[in-house]
Amino acid sequence: MTTQAAEKLMDDMWACIQRMDAERHAADPDSHKKSMLFPDGLRYRYWETKRPRRSTVRWCYTSTKNAAGYHLCFRQTVTKKHFKNDEISAFKRKKDAIETARLNNSREGSK
């Protein structure tokens, strides 16, 4: 087996796994609300609060729906060495996710 054939096989297997996960999440969306699986790719926007000599905090919202059909709002903490996503919320309407991210960012900036 050549390297190209092996790469194609791995790509096909990964696509199959992604497709199966997306189908499972779509079949039971309520239990997979906060899933970070995005069949169309993850695209998000954010408001950023920079804190001197500390980590940067971004309140993000997704502009695409996840596999369960929800828009997510989450906090992303960025340091020099890594970043972390936490405080994930799920919303059916994109407008609600945007408003939550904006509100949380304004609270973060006042700390």
Q: How far is it, in rounded angstroms, from Cα 66 to Cα 50?
A: 28
Q: For a pLDDT cut of 70, what percent of the chain falls above it?
A: 97
Q: 84: part of which helix (H) or strand (E)?
A: strand 83-91
| Predicted structure pTM score | 0.74
Average pLDDT over residues 49-65: 87
Strand order in the sheet with 56-62: 44-49, 56-62, 71-78, 83-91
| Domain membership of residue 17 as a residue range | 3-109
The number of folded domains in the chain is 1
Give the pLDDT score at 93.
92
Give the pLDDT score at 35.
83
Give the pLDDT score at 33.
86
How far CA 34 is from CA of 28, 30, 60, 72, 81, in Å, comes to: 12, 9, 14, 7, 25
Q: How far is it, in rounded angstroms, from Cα 21 to Cα 87?
A: 23
Q: Indicate the average pLDDT of the chain.
A: 86
